[in-house]
């Protein structure tokens, strides 16, 4: 579902640039993702996709260029309230959706498998810590910038987002077509990650040879898995389903699935057989357990809130 949303997002972004319908771009986006996964080395792909993802910084730049009332913006961020037009259930439904979008389960498989792809050793723990201490907070700041842009441009005009073109309105309002080009460039990397994660997850579970460090012929089933996943994603998109709606459902179900990936990691982090002398201490376990409680609460609330609110409608 997440891969379907990512490929659909690329197609919608290309639609913004060309005015051609997304149906024209679904196969193009899927083919581009497949060619990169099949032919490009992992390290090159990871670095280029990461740099393209940094193009999302255009949303942060747009916030400053729009010249908002900073005190009002800070008040909205620090004192959230339920809009009069929405119920409490709808508010919390979208809160869980944002939570699921920030912590998607596929990231666990992508980053852990990426360490194997690049043949990491204990000497690379510094890089891993840098990813966590710098990369993740930076990504969070970019997410806040996207929300801030929406609060500045969309909220005063009571615009409810139903299309990707509305998501990038703050960027276009601030920087025009050049800023839009940066926003479009940022859409490609996540599709690569989700496609790879589909292959990693199934191949590792079934014990098949996997990895970009192997030739495609030596990990044939791994590559076939990714190809089938991409084809299935395009098939779903060609049914006419709204990619925006698929995205909403995918992030909610991400929140539901989070405990299934987070709990095993917490268990392994306390197992000396795996971690040696690098097991979690009391402070990390306390923080990890607190976060697990939050994840479980979000996971258990997601389906009931989806039913009660009609998926936020």
Burial status of residue 80 (CB atoms within 10 A of its CB: 0-12, 13-18, 19 or more): exposed
Residue spans of the domains in the chain: they are: 2-85+106-241
Contacts 24+ apart (CB under 8 A), 87-92: 87/309, 89/305, 89/308, 89/309, 90/309, 90/312, 92/301, 92/305
Is the pTM for the entire model greater than 0.95?
no
- pLDDT in the model for residue 165: 66
Q: 231: pLDDT confidence band, cut at 50, 70 and 90?
A: very high
Which range is most confident: 2-6, 162-166, 254-258, 284-288?
284-288
Q: 235: pLDDT confidence band, cut at 50, 70 and 90?
A: very high
First CA to last CA distance, the chain: 20
Residues sharing a CB contact under 8 Å with residue 17, sequence separation 6 or more, in sequence order: 180, 181, 184
Task: From residue 231, give the alpha-carbon distance in Å to each of 34, 164, 227.
Answer: 10, 23, 6
- Residue in the structure block whose two tokens are 């926003």: 183
Q: Which of 103-107, 150-154, 233-237, 289-293 has the lowest mean pLDDT?
A: 103-107
Question: Distance between CA 53 and CA 153 in Å, rounded?
Answer: 23
Question: Distance between CA 135 and CA 120 in Å, rounded?
Answer: 18
Question: Distance between CA 206 and CA 90 in Å, rounded?
Answer: 39
Q: Are 226 and 15 in contact (CB under 8 A)?
A: no
Q: Are 56 and 184 in contact (CB under 8 A)?
A: no
Q: Which of 53-62, 76-85, 90-99, 124-133 has the lowest mean pLDDT?
A: 76-85
């Amino acid at each position: 579902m997440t891969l379907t949303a990512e490929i659909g997002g690329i197609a919608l972004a290309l639609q913004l640039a060309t005015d051609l319908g997304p149906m024209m771009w679904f196969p193009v986006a899927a083919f581009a993702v497949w060619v990169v996964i099949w032919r490009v080395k992992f390290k090159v792909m990871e670095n280029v996709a990461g740099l393209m993802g940094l193009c999302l910084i255009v949303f942060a730049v747009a916030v400053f260029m729009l010249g908002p009332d900073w005190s009002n913006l800070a008040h909205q961020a620090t004192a959230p309230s339920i809009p009069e037009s929405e119920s409490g259930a709808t508010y919390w439904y979208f809160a869980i959706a944002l939570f699921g979008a920030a912590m998607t389960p596929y990231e666990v498989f992508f980053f852990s498998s990426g360490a194997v792809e690049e043949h990491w050793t204990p000497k690379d723990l510094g890089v891993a810590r840098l990813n966590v201490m710098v990369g993740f907070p930076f990504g969070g700041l970019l997410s806040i910038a996207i929300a801030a842009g929406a609060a500045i441009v969309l909220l005063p005009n009571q615009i409810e987002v139903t299309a990707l073109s509305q998501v990038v309105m703050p960027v276009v309002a601030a920087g025009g077509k050049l800023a839009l080009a940066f926003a479009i460039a940022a859409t490609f990397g996540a599709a690569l990650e989700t496609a790879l994660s589909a292959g990693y997850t199934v191949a590792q579970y079934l014990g098949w040879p996997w990895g970009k460090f192997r030739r495609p012929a030596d990990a044939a089933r791994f590559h076939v898995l990714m190809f089938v996943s991409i084809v299935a994603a395009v098939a779903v998109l060609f049914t006419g389903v709204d990619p925006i709606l698929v995205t909403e459902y995918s992030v909610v179900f991400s929140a539901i699935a989070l405990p299934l990936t987070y709990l095993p990691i917490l268990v392994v982090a306390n197992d000396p057989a795996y971690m040696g002398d690098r097991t979690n201490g009391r402070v990390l376990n306390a923080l990890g357990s607190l976060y697990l409680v939050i994840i479980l609460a979000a996971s258990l609330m997601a389906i009931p809130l989806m039913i009660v609110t009609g998926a936020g409608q």
